[in-house]
Amino acid sequence: MKNLSFKINKEPQQIIEQLKSEISKSGTFTLNIKEEENEILSFNLRKRIQFGEQILHRNLVIVKGEISRIDRENCSKVDISFKQNPLVIISKIILFGLGLISILTGFLSSTSFIIPGIILLAIGFILWFSLNKSFKDNSEKYRVLLSELLEI
């Protein structure tokens, strides 16, 4: 997913207030806002989860954005990027690593480790493809949501 970058004819504080009000109505998202130097406001947007097991299937996308003021009056530049949740990336690495270790152990000592290793690798590939597809779909949904919220 490509990053978004656009200009809006509003002050940065107006944009943040608009995001806060619209997102607080839904109750399904969390919005964290930080004020950085040079009048730059940064925000993180992600889905709110209630239980830890929901991280891998509900909280795949972390939206990071920056709103900066342009020299012209009442004009702001908004940069938004979409990142995959680090826990999802770690879970894929663990599955691939366990599969490879199991296969190598099977070749070196006993062949009984080869089959579980192949199964772990297969699960890792299936999980990798499905999570990447979900990430692309969810990134597109977030892009549409933010476009509607900011009235682009």
pLDDT tens digits along 18-76? 888 877 777 677 778 888 777 788 888 877 777 766 666 677 788 888 888 887 677 88
Output the pLDDT for position 56: 63
Start-to-end CA span in the chain (Å): 18
Apex 13 CA angle, 11 and 17, nearest 5: 120
The Cβ of residue 135 has, within 10 Å, a number of other Cβ atoms equal to: 18
Report how far residue 33's alpha carbon sits from residue 54's, in angstroms, rounded to the nearest whole number.
24
Output the pLDDT for position 1: 55
Mean local confidence (pLDDT), 96-119: 79
Apex 148 CA angle, 139 and 14, nearest 5: 110
Question: Which of 11, 20, 14 shows the shortest CA–CA distance to 76?
Answer: 11
67-104 residue pLDDT tens: 888 876 778 888 888 888 888 888 888 888 888 888 88
Please give the model's pTM, rounded to 2 decimal places. Answer: 0.75
